[in-house]
Amino acid sequence: AVVTNDQSQVSLDTTLTPELQDEGKMRDLIRDIQGLRKKQGLAQTDTINVITPAYPLQFRQEIINKVGANSLEIGDTLLVTKV
Question: Which distant-in-sequence residues (6+ apart) come within 8 Å of 19 by Cβ?
Answer: none
Mean per-residue pLDDT for 17-41?
Answer: 97
Q: Return the percentage of the chain with pLDDT > 90, whole number.
A: 82
Mean per-residue pLDDT for 14-20?
Answer: 94
Mean pLDDT of the chain: 94
Using the predicted structure, report yes or no on whether residue 68 has a pLDDT greater than 80: yes
74 pLDDT band (50/70/90 cuts)?
very high
Mean per-residue pLDDT for 19-31?
Answer: 97
Phi, psi of 66 (to 5 degrees): -70, -30
